[in-house]
Amino acid sequence: MHLKKDDKVIILTGKDRQKIAKVLKSIPKKSRIIVEGVNVISRHQKPTQSNPEGGVVKKEASIHISNALLYCETCQKGVRTKLKIDEKSAKKIRVCSKCGYEFDKK
């Protein structure tokens, strides 16, 4: 997957179009991601011991990975990425295809 947890993404389609937010969770088997504050749904929940009130709970639902692009801070827009192999550690690093910014410098 080209998007991972804690990445900053821009949403391309839907009611939250052009929003910039952080990825909370990625689900590679289904090609979906959960993004902070995007695709918020209301769930009606019965009262339980941990939540005695019950009621309506708002939470983020997943969106397909094709509806989001990685956000580049230097380009100030959503960009596609290339994979580059690091010489020292021989790991794959995601790189901005426009400016060459490395996203996985950790």
Q: Is 93 exposed, middle or buried (0-12, 13-18, 19+ CB in 10 A)?
A: middle
Can you tell me which residue has the tokens 């993404």? 9
Query: Where is average pLDDT lowest: 11-15, 17-21, 29-33, 102-106?
Result: 102-106
How many domains in the chain?
1
Distance, in Å, from the CA atom of 38 to the CA atom of 97, rounded to the nearest integer, reads 26
> What pLDDT, on a 0 to 100 scale, did the predictor assign at position 68?
96
Domain presence at residue 102: no
Domain membership of residue 71 as a residue range: 8-48+55-78
Residue range 10-15: mean pLDDT, rounded: 95
Distance, in Å, from the CA atom of 30 to the CA atom of 19, rounded to the nearest integer, reads 23
Domain presence at residue 70: yes
Give the global pTM: 0.84
